[in-house]
Structure 1
Amino acid sequence: MTHKLMALPLLLSLAACGGHEETRKEPPPPTVSVARVDLRALDGGFTASGRLIPREEVAIAPELSGYRIAHVQVEEDAQVRAGQVLAVLDDALLRAQIAQARAQLTQQQVASDKARMEAGRVAGLDNMGVVSQEAIDQRRIADRSAQASVGVARAQLDDLLTRQQRLTVRAPVAGRVLQRSARPGEPSASGTVLFTIARDNLVELDAEVPEAVMGTLATGDPVKVVLASGISVDGRVRLLGARVNNQTGLSTARIALPVRQDLRPGGFAQARFVKAKAPVLSAPEGAVHYDADGAYMQLLDGRDHVHRVAVRTGRRAGDMVEILSGPRRGDRAVMGGGAFVLEGDRVRVAGEKAGA
């Protein structure tokens, strides 16, 4: 009986120790589902609308003011070649000035010939006493002065002849006449546009693109452009806008189009941006999370510990999203249960997403 009483406290002590160990046992790690970051062919794309514009619009204005428009040689929508005459200004006023300038040049040339001959008569008579040195110097100065007067008269005539040539308005480039505002009988005004030409008939679509997808585009990307008539035209991204409108959140993409007669600047068109179906690094959209710092993913290392990685996303197709930067191919991304784990936590993987 005595031995039984001594053993009882020992058993109670051991039982108490065992219960304490049970309470100190760590809880199991949370269970999460994961998906692989891998290469996949993404379909889809996005659409954007905009207006057709000339790639380069050339405005043609007269260089001289105050001359009446005598003739207009082309109409709107005409095809013109470089150097072709578009309009002619009346040169009646210049013709009289040119005739007067030519007469003045002739007079100056005659006076110059006379002065040159008089200077020639005293050539070699310096310091010989036949003619005073002062008279010799005066004839030579008169000869040089007459030559200078001839140069001035010739320059004035050349200026008038140049003005006469500029009264003919020519096309600086080949292309399609988009606008004609020149009307016969109206006086010309320097800086007033008479004609507008689309250089080489090149028209492109100025598409308004959301800022969020600008990073997914690149010059040379194929684009399907649908005109207002319903006709579909193949184009390519030629230029991406460098700025985003701070009011609309839209940027621009210039879509180069083939030369076609039915492409009229100012018209409406819609573009569908479709990348080639080459495999890209992607993951399910559920693996990408967002907070105040931007998009991120929770990746698992080899010991199933969670690590946060910032990501940059691209195109979306179905429930998949393109990964432009951050994770690497083969990484495991936390899907379900990710809201309850933190950086460095160890988790238990329930299984990867089927088909991922």
Structure 2
Amino acid sequence: MMREAPSLSSRMLVAIAAWRAPVVAFVSVLGVAGCTSGSDQASPPAQAASGPSALSVNLVRPRSEQWPRQLKSTGQIVAWQEVVISPETGGLRLKELKVDIGAKVRRGQVLALLADDSLRVDHRKQEAAVLQARISLEQAASDLRRSRLAEGSGALSAQKIEEYRLTAASAEASLESARAELQSIELKLAQTRVLAPDDGIVSSKSGVLGSVVSAGAELFRLVRQGRVEWRPEIDSGQLALLSPNQTARITLPSGQTVTGRLRVVGPTMSSSTGRATLYVELSPDSLARAGMFATGVLLAGTQPATTLPLSALVMRDGRSYVYTVDSGGQAHAIAVATGRREGDRIEVVSGMDAAAQVVASGGAFLSEGSKVTVLAGPAVAASGAAR
């Protein structure tokens, strides 16, 4: 089969393509030469050669400040003093419980009542016994007076007169005994009203209505004056930094923070742990409750701190990073160790040079080698000024 000869139009297209190739190559050479010649006068920004900017950022320098020295510890929150409420008399039925758990009580308030019917009967009987003893004493005293009037006449022997005297003395002793017994019954009657020995909050109630209680059996427990304390333990090496009335910040299990005052440092060290117990007083109206386990810090003086804004910190894979920018506009991640936190600033303990300039915010959108545009402004100078 014979092949068809190419048409005129096809031959023309091939010729045009062959002519354009050297022209394009020549123009490209001229362009490169022009760029090379221009570089001797002004270099273009490095970021333009490497690609577009990922973010516009401000840079800040670390700030040197004096921050409170914080001693971290953990411990339980307990009642400042716990009061056990018990009846002072026994063998009586628990007639009434007047308060419940959580009630705020005042000193002298009636918390419980014991049945006093039997004691009232005994009281009346003893009143009669006192009256009888008083009559017996009066009779004995009258006999003694008469015997002394007749003492010189010889109508009564000395032995009989001495007998009257001893009888009067015995009657007087019987009257005193009867009065004492009456006072004892009256005291028991008063003790059927179980009173609060001080202001406080009822933390437990173990009395059972209708039960016959014995003297000393626990009915209630009070958190005295509603005061609670945080009692952490601390190493012996840190004791020199502590003194009474220093401030403590305690974080409750709910995440809320309460403020306390160091009341006293334990005078002895634990023989098993080698640590001392601290007694930190908390406000009665705080959200802390006895039995909570809390963490906190004690503010013990001040010490220098190198700080950055919190916004400069980036958390990745459980580690803290900041970003610096080199002269070519590229961002570089630096791992740092952080410490204390105050407001919107955080302490950088290690990993960063004190003169470094780091990205103030937006680091979470950067990665190693990202191109950034540094904004001109007072951020660097302002952040470097001491507060």
How is 1:202-351 mapped onto 2 (pairs within 5 angstroms)? 202-260=227-285, 262-277=287-302, 318=349
User: Could you tell me which of 198, 208, 211 is aligned with 1:173?
Assistant: 198
- For the aligned residue pairs, the C-alpha RMSD in angstroms reads 2.6
Counterpart AA for 2:273: T
Match of 1:82 in 2: 107
Match of 1:103 among 128, 140, 152: 128
Provide the C-alpha distance between the structure 2 equivalents of 1:212 and 1:90, rounded to a whole number of angstroms: 58
Deviations 1:74-110 (A, max 9, x none): 1111111111111111122322222222222111111
Q: Does 1:91 align with 2:113?
A: no
Q: CA deviation at 1:260?
A: 1.0
Q: In the alignment, which residue of structure 2 is the partner of 1:61?
A: 86
Q: 2:230 and 2:101 mapped to 1: Cα distance? A: 21
Deviations 1:273-315 (A, max 9, x none): 2223378xxxxxxxxxxxxxxxxxxxxxxxxxxxxxxxxxxxx
**1-side partners of 2:240 and 2:84: how far apart?**
34
Aligned-pair distance for 1:152?
A: 1.1
* Partner SS for 2:288: coil
Provide the residue aligned with 1:325 in structure 2: none
Cα pair 1:241 1:251 within 8 Å, conserved = yes
Residues 32-68 of structure 1 deviation map (CA, whole Å, 9 limit, x = unaligned): xxxxxxxx95654232121111111111122222221
Deviations 1:200-234 (A, max 9, x none): 11111111223332332221111111222222222
> Are the aligned partners of 1:127 and 1:133 in contact in 2 as well (CA < 8 Å)?
no
Match of 1:123 among 124, 144, 148: 148
**Secondary structure in 2 matching 1:117:** helix
Q: Which residue of 1 aligns with 2:8?
A: none
Query: What is aligned with 2:324?
Result: none
Aligned to 2:209: 184
Q: Which is greater in Rg?
A: 2
Greater alpha carbon shift after TM alignment, 145-154 vs 226-235: 226-235
- 1:261 & 1:85 partners in 2: Cα distance? 27
Compute the displacement of 1:248 (Å): 3.5
Q: Give me the TM-score of the superposition, normalised by structure 1.
A: 0.63
- Following TM superposition, by how much is the alpha carbon of 1:239 offset from its aligned partner in structure 2, in angstroms? 1.5
Question: Which ranges of structure 2 fall in alignment gaps of 5 or more residues?
Answer: 1-64, 305-347, 351-387
Task: Output the CA distance in 2 between the equivalents of 1:233 and 1:261.
Answer: 7
1:151 aligns with 176
Q: Unaligned regions of 5+ residues in structure 1, if any?
A: 1-39, 280-316, 320-356
Identity over aligned pairs, percent:
28
Q: Is the 8 A contact 1:63 1:190 kept in 2?
A: yes
Bigger shift: 90-99 or 173-182? 90-99
Sort the Cα spacing of 1:105 and 1:278 in 2 relative to 1 into closer, same or farther, 3 A. Answer: same
Structure 1 residue 138 displacement after superposition: 2.1
Cα 1:152–1:43, aligned 2, differ >3 Å: closer, same or farther? closer
Deviation track 1:153-172 (CA, whole Å, cap 9, x = no partner) reads 11111112112212221111
Deviations 1:126-173 (A, max 9, x none): 222233333322222222221111111111111121122122211111
- 1:138 corresponds, among 135, 146, 163, to 163
For 1:215 and 1:209, the matched residues in 2 are separated by 11
Query: Which whole-Å CA distance do the structure 1 matches of 2:286 and 2:103 have between them?
Result: 11
Aligned twin of 1:164? 189
SS at match of 1:218: coil
Q: What is aligned with 2:225? A: 200
8 Å contact kept, 2:227–2:282: yes
Matched residues, number: 246
Q: Is the 8 A contact 2:260 2:280 kept in 1?
A: yes
Q: Distance in 1 between the 2:146 and 2:272 partners?
A: 85
Letter of the structure 2 residue corresponding to residue 86 of structure 1: L
After TM superposition, what 4+ stretches of structure 1 lie above 6 angstroms from structure 2? none
Amino acid at match of 2:224: R
Following superposition, the deviation at residue 318 of structure 1 comes to: 4.1
Could you tell me how far apart the structure 1 residues matched to 2:125 and 2:162 are?
33
